[in-house]
Amino acid sequence: MQVSVYIAVSLDGFIAREDGGLDWLPGSDPNTEVDNGNNDDHGYVAFMETVDVLVMGRNSYEAVLSFGDWAYGDKPVVVLSSSLKRLPAELPATVSLRDVSPAELVAELARNGARRLYIDGGHTIRRFLRAGLITDMTIFRVPVLLGQGIPLFGALEADIPLVHLETRAYPDGMVESRYQVQSGRDEGAGSQPESGQ
């Protein structure tokens, strides 16, 4: 089982402004995109084709909903939340709501045949990382300093060693780096106790 992170982050480590703003992401302004002739999706569609289940935290889910049309078609999506009680009826039946630990979820999805999960949302990624479940990370560094915002990474009980696999620079200034997580497991359930946020 691959449990992957695939995310864009400001050079100073934020995945959104404090109010959730994503206007700093390349492509967030359609006019700028046309001006630059930059229609490169940075490999997103190809990555999504390798993903069996997208797992996202409640905050990311609410951000996606606020964009309007559901962006993931019939791709299986698990929304993690301990506060939401139900999802809107108009969402595809492939979207489900769960309140389980990362280890339980990974084990369950592996039993159901999933081979690659895409974990999204800063808080959620940190929980999966601390549980020793993330196997690989693709990080897109956006050439901007935001100064403050919602962080990607946070405190850890121990270092998580990474193996650098590849780095690629795009004409729009994005730098994509792929890492393998050395402590990440590839057979499902978590190996380390979780703690905190």
Ligand X SMILES: NC(=O)c1ccc[n+]([C@@H]2O[C@H](COP(=O)([O-])OP(=O)(O)OC[C@H]3O[C@@H](n4cnc5c(N)ncnc54)[C@H](OP(=O)(O)O)[C@@H]3O)[C@@H](O)[C@H]2O)c1
Which positions lie near ligand X, rule CB under 6 A? 7-8, 15-16, 20, 22, 56-60, 63, 80-84, 99, 101-102, 120-124, 127, 150
How far is it, in rounded angstroms, from Cα 112 to Cα 124?
21
Upper half-sphere CA count for residue 160 (Cβ side, 13 Å)? 23
Nearer of residues 85 and 111 to ligand X, judged by Cβ: 85
Nearer of residues 157 and 182 to ligand X, judged by Cβ: 157
Q: Tokens 């620079």 appear where? A: 169
Query: How far apart are CB 163 and ligand X at their closest, in Å?
Result: 22
Query: How far apart are CB 171 and ligand X at their closest, in Å?
Result: 19
Q: How many CB atoms lie within 10 A of CB 120?
A: 22
3-class state of residue 66 by DSSP:
helix
Nearer of residues 127 and 185 to ligand X, judged by Cβ: 127
In angstroms, what CA-CA distances link 165 with 7, 55, 115, 129, 134? 16, 24, 20, 18, 15
Query: How far apart are CB 128 and ligand X at their closest, in Å?
Result: 8
Whether the CB-CB separation of 25 and 8 falls below 8 Å is answered with: yes
Query: How far apart are CB 98 and ligand X at their closest, in Å?
Result: 7
The structure tokens listed for 138 are 């693709």
Query: How far apart are CB 145 and ligand X at their closest, in Å?
Result: 15
